[in-house]
Amino acid sequence: MRRYFCLLICLGLTACGGNQYGEHPPYPASGRVLLDGEPANHVGVTLWHDGEWTGRTAVPQGWTNEEGRFVLSTYAADDGAPAGHYRVTIKFPSDPKVLGGGPDLLGGKYLKRETSGLMADIEPGKNQLPDFDLSTDSAKGKADKPAPPRIKSKFEKAQKR
């Protein structure tokens, strides 16, 4: 009798367990970021789901190592990303040791999901994303533009008089 009771409790707990991720379990996902063909270290990679999404929002992220490789994390470290089509943003901070990382070394070209032009697909199972091969040439155009003319404040104008 006691064994049956313990068996019933175990079965009941198993049935109540449920999926901790709801409809969006993570699948292992990794990739590599190159800058002008060379591995890019300390680069932040963020995936933004493109399309309909039910339940809580998931934003997979990862940081590159010396080899330019990253592993995505969504709910826990290195757990991957839920299946789906994503827009990708990349930030190459000028100082990764500082909160916020400082200015983006790529001139902000890949910071907005609407304009980065980078995409990724995560499928059920293990995922090795294609390399994100970025170019400093395309980023320089934005960073090298001359600054807009500065408008003088009323205080500065008054000082000249």
Looking at the chain, the whole-number percentage of residues with pLDDT higher than 90 is 58
Q: pLDDT tens, 91-136? A: 999 988 888 888 999 999 999 999 999 999 999 999 999 999 998 8
Asked if residues 144 and 109 have their Cβ atoms less than 8 Å apart, the reply is no
Structure tokens at 149: 């003319």
Structure tokens at 108: 């902000």
Domains assigned to the chain: 30-144 (2.60.40)
DSSP state of 104: B
Structure tokens at 50: 């493109």
CA dihedral 75, 125, 132, 106 (to 10 degrees): -10
**CA-based nearest residue to 116, from 142, 90, 141:** 90
Does the pLDDT at position 44 exceed 80?
Answer: yes
pTM over 0.85: no
**Long-range contact list for 138-145, CB < 8 A, 24+ apart?**
138/109, 139/105, 139/106, 139/107, 139/109, 139/110, 140/107, 141/107, 142/107, 142/108, 142/109, 143/106, 143/107, 143/108
Q: pLDDT tens, 50-64? A: 988 787 788 999 999
pLDDT at residue number 98: 84
